Amino acid sequence: MKRQIIYLNLFVILLLCSCSKSEADNKDWQMIWNDEFETDGAPDATKWTFSGRRSPDWACYCTDQLENAEVFNGVLLLRGTVNENPGDTARFQTGCIQTKGKFDFKYGKLEVRAKLSKGQGSWPAIWMMPAEGVYGGWPKSGEIDVMEHLNFDPYFYQTIHSSHVDELKQKDNPIYFAKASFKEGEFNVFGLEWYPDRLDFLINGKKTFTYPKVEGQDAVQWPFDQNFYIILNQALGGNWPGPVNAEDLPVEMQVDWVRVYQRNKD
């Protein structure tokens, strides 16, 4: 009995220490924006807009149909489906929403708790684009991809784009992307900590890789000193994931919440 009491006390101490550490970590950050997706129906129009259908691969099937971007039972559902609308010539429809014109930020932490499904041609993504594009059109003003998943892969990609990477082809000086595993079929927290001198990418609180600002370089290598907005989408097809297998549809990215923090001032 004494031994059991000792073990129990040790367990309580360890639990308290764990909680204290978590609380201390949280005190370093203050939430400045979030969406918990608590109201059923269309995404909150005060926070999100539809991305709209455009020519890039990720956007060529975007729609504002509720069946492709819907909040239900506390979760945002972004779906890729076969298009059954006779008045629309696109073969597929995809859910694509963004905070452009509603919210953007510079430096801080972004966390998105999401669950991914799989299928040939599936391409869900959590990413960020510059609000103003002060250094010019893509890729000059940068792009930050917090999560991109392809097809049936057991891993996902975290990537940055810039003139340094995409025009000068400096793809290993420094390394511009990483692949990381995730809990398949479960919710995961995809994260980014953004500082004036680096981008730290994370999965479930663990760092996957860091993209640094290189000393002596200018906006060609580091355009990440301006406000960016958030994009969530469940794309289909394109050059990267390849052709879509309609038999695998629908696919969907489920988003439990999106939270943005900035560091508390010392």
- The answer to whether 229 touches 258, Cβ cutoff 8 Å, is no
For residues 116-120, average pLDDT? 98
Per residue in 217-251, pLDDT (tens digit) is 999 999 999 999 999 999 999 999 999 999 999 99
Which pLDDT score is estimated for 215?
94
Element (H, E) at 25: helix 2-26
Which pLDDT score is estimated for 26?
64
For CA atoms 24, 190, 68, 90, the dihedral sign is positive
Rounded CA-CA distance 165/146 in Å is 17
Rounded CA-CA distance 193/208 in Å is 11
Which pLDDT score is estimated for 87?
86
Per residue in 125-180, pLDDT (tens digit) is 999 999 999 999 999 999 999 999 999 999 999 999 999 999 999 999 999 999 99
Which residues have CB under 8 Å from 259's CB, separation 6+?
31, 33, 34, 110, 111, 112
Scan for tokens 């420094």, then name that residue.
174
Active site residues: 143, 148
Per residue in 16-54, pLDDT (tens digit) is 443 433 333 567 899 999 999 999 999 999 999 999 999
pLDDT above 70 covers a percentage of the chain that reads: 90
Q: What is the mean pLDDT of the chain?
A: 92
